[in-house]
C-alpha cells in the first residue's frame, strides 16, 4: 500500500544535523543547531534544573500520573505571569486562557487548529519573510494558508520596518499576523519599541489577530521583562485586543526534549474564556490527550520560588552573555583578518543566531571545504560557536567571500 508514497524532503535544519553526525572530519563545526552549547561545545543542563531533578528523583512521592488535558494549574498560572507580568491587566481581568502544551511547536499547532475552526473562515496567516521554517509547515497543516510579509532588508542587513507595515496594512482585514516576540529567527532583527507601537497601530486598524511566537524570552537581552515588552505592549492595549502567545521553555530553561510550553489566548472579555478553554482542550485531547509532566514540574518549581527564579535568571544571563561574547569575538576576528564587507550586523543582531548574509553557495563551500555546517540562508548559531573555533570560522568565511 505504501509503494506510491513519495519521500518527503529532509527538514533543512534537522537534516543538517544528520549530515553533521555522519561527517568524519575532526574539524567539523555545527552552527546549524538551535541549541545552546557551552564554550566546551557541550549541551548545558542548568544548575537549577539539575538540582530540582535530583530532588525529584529522591522524592518518594513523585508519581507519573496523567496531567489534566489543559496541564497543571500552577504551571499555567506562573507561565502566564512570566510572559505577561504578574500584574498584567489581562490577567487581573481574567481574560487569558492558558493551556500547557508541547513546547513552542505544540502550542503553535494547537492555536493553529483552534483558529482554523473558530476564527474567520478563509483567513490567511501572515508570516515574516524570512521566518523559522516550521511556521510554513504548522499553519497549512492546520488548514491555514500562509502569506509572507516583508520583514528583512538584505541590503541594509536590518528590519524592513516600512515594508512590514505596508504589507500588514495591505493584508486582508482580520488576518492572523505571526510576530516573533523577540530575537527574530533567523534574522536577529527586532522592531524597537516605537516600531512595535507602529505595528500595534496597524494591527488594530486592520483588525488583525496578533500571534506572538515567544521562543527566546530571556535569551535575547538576559531580561525576561525586556524580552516580553512587545507582548506586554499589545496585551495592555485599550480597548483590549484579542491575541495569542505561544511560549517555549526549550531554550531559556534548556529543556528542549522535555517539550515544555504554553499557549495563552487573550480574550476581549472574561465571559468567553470558559468556552475558549473548552475548545482548546478538545484540540489537545484529539492530538495528544495531555501534556508531559516532568519538564513542567521543573519549570513550576523554578517559577514558584523567588530564590530559584533568581538563580535561573543568572544562568540565562550567562548563556546570553556567552552568545554576545561570541558575536564580539567573531566580529573582531573578521576585522582582523580583513574579510571584505561590513560585518557590523554580527554585533547588533539579537538572540541566538547571526544572519550573516552569506549566500547559499558560500554556505555550501564552507561545508564542503571547511566542514562548517549552517543553514543555506546564511544563518549561524552563535550559541554553537566556541572560542577555539572563532578564528577558524572567520578565516573560512573570508575564504568563502573571496572565493
Q: Which residues are catalytic?
A: 132, 213, 251
List 29, 115, 211, 250, residue binding ligand PMP (CB under 6 A): 250
| Min dist. Cβ of residue 215 to ligand PMP (A) | 4
Q: Is 180 in the site for ligand PMP (CB under 6 A)?
A: yes
Q: Is 71 in the site for ligand PMP (CB under 6 A)?
A: no
**Residue 371: which residues within 8 A CB-CB, separation 6 or more?**
23, 25, 27, 28, 29
Give, as ranges, the residues between 300 and 359 that touch ligand PMP (CB under 6 A).
none
Quote the CA–CA distance of 41 and 381 in Å, as a whole number.
12
Helix (H, G, I), strand (E, B) or coil at 335: helix
Our CB check for ligand PMP shows the closer of 110 and 334 to be 110
Give 226-292 as a 3 state SS string: HHCHHHHHHHCCCCCCCEEEEEECCCCCCCHHHCCEEEEEECCCHHHHHHHHHHHHHHHHHHCCCCC
List 32, 34, 254, 378, residue binding ligand PMP (CB under 6 A): 34
Grid cell for residue 63: 508519581
CA distances from 121 to 46, 175, 211, 246 (A): 44, 10, 17, 22
Our CB check for ligand PMP shows the closer of 185 and 356 to be 185
Give the binding-site size for ligand PMP (rule: CB under 6 A): 13
Q: Is 100 in the site for ligand PMP (CB under 6 A)?
A: no
- Piece of 69-77, 100-108, 328-336, 380-388 that binds ligand PMP (CB under 6 A): 100-108
| Min dist. Cβ of residue 245 to ligand PMP (A) | 12
| Min dist. Cβ of residue 255 to ligand PMP (A) | 9
Our CB check for ligand PMP shows the closer of 103 and 123 to be 103
Give, as ranges, the residues between 202 and 241 that touch ligand PMP (CB under 6 A).
213, 215
Q: Are 12 and 32 in contact (CB under 8 A)?
A: no
| Min dist. Cβ of residue 108 to ligand PMP (A) | 7
Q: Is 85 in the site for ligand PMP (CB under 6 A)?
A: no
Our CB check for ligand PMP shows the closer of 226 and 398 to be 226
Q: CA 288, 291, 293, 299 torsion: positive or negative? A: positive
Q: Are 173 and 207 in contact (CB under 8 A)?
A: yes
How many other CB atoms are found less than 10 A from the CB of residue 227? Answer: 26
| Min dist. Cβ of residue 36 to ligand PMP (A) | 12
Site string for ligand PMP, 113-152 (x = CB under 6 A): -------------------x--------------------
| Min dist. Cβ of residue 156 to ligand PMP (A) | 22
Backbone φ and ψ of 145, nearest 5°: -65, 145
How many other CB atoms are found less than 10 A from the CB of residue 283? Answer: 23
**Residue 372: which residues within 8 A CB-CB, separation 6 or more?**
28, 29, 31, 366, 393, 396
Our CB check for ligand PMP shows the closer of 30 and 105 to be 105
Would you tell me which residues interact with ligand PMP (CB under 6 A)?
Answer: 34, 103-105, 132, 180, 185, 213, 215, 248, 250, 256, 261
Amino acid at each position: 500500500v505504501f509503494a506510491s508514497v513519495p519521500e518527503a524532503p529532509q527538514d533543512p535544519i534537522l537534516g543538517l544535523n544528520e549530515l553533521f553526525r555522519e561527517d568524519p572530519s575532526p574539524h567539523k563545526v555545527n552552527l546549524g543547531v538551535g541549541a545552546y552549547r557551552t564554550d566546551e561545545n557541550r549541551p548545558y543542563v542548568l544548575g537549577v534544573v539539575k538540582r530540582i531533578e535530583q530532588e525529584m528523583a529522591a522524592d518518594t512521592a513523585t508519581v507519573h500520573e496523567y496531567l489534566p488535558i489543559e496541564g497543571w494549574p500552577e504551571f499555567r498560572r506562573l507561565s502566564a505571569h512570566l510572559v505577561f507580568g504578574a500584574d498584567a491587566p489581562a490577567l487581573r481581568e481574567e481574560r487569558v486562557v492558558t493551556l500547557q502544551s508541547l513546547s513552542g511547536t505544540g502550542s503553535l499547532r494547537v492555536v493553529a487548529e483552534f483558529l482554523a475552526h473558530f476564527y474567520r473562515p478563509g483567513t490567511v496567516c501572515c508570516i515574516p519573510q524570512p521566518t523559522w521554517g516550521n511556521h510554513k509547515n504548522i499553519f497549512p497543516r492546520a488548514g491555514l494558508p500562509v502569506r509572507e510579509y516583508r520583514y528583512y532588508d538584505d541590503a541594509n542587513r536590518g528590519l524592513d520596518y516600512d515594508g512590514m507595515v505596508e504589507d500588514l496594512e495591505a493584508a486582508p482585514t482580520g488576518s492572523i499576523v505571526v510576530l516573533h516576540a523577540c530575537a527574530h529567527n533567523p534574522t536577529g532583527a527586532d522592531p524597537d519599541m516605537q516600531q512595535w507601537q507602529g505595528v500595534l497601530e496597524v494591527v488594530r486598524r486592520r483588525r488583525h489577530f496578533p500571534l506572538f511566537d515567544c521562543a527566546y524570552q530571556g535569551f535575547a537581552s538576559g531580561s525576561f521583562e525586556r524580552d516580553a515588552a512587545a507582548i506586554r505592549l499589545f496585551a495592555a492595549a485599550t480597548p483590549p485586543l484579542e491575541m495569542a502567545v505561544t511560549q517555549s521553555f526549550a531554550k531559556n530553561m534548556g529543556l528542549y526534549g522535555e517539550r515544555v510550553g504554553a499557549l495563552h489566548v487573550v480574550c476581549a472579555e472574561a465571559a468567553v474564556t470558559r468556552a475558549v478553554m473548552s475548545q482548546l482542550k478538545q484540540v489537545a485531547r484529539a492530538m495528544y490527550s495531555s501534556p508531559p509532566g516532568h519538564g513542567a514540574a521543573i519549570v513550576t518549581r523554578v517559577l514558584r520560588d523567588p530564590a530559584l527564579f533568581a538563580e535561573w535568571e543568572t544562568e540565562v544571563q550567562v548563556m546570553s552573555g556567552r552568545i554576545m561574547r561570541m558575536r564580539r569575538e567573531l566580529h573582531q576576528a573578521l576585522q582582523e583578518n580583513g574579510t571584505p564587507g561590513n560585518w557590523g550586523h554580527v554585533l547588533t543582531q539579537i538572540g541566538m543566531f547571526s544572519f550573516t548574509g552569506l549566500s547559499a553557495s558560500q554556505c555550501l563551500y564552507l561545508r564542503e571545504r571547511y566542514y562548517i555546517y549552517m543553514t543555506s540562508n546564511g544563518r549561524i548559531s552563535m550559541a554553537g560557536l566556541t572560542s577555539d573555533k572563532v578564528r577558524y570560522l572567520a578565516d573560512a568565511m573570508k575564504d568563502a567571500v573571496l572565493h
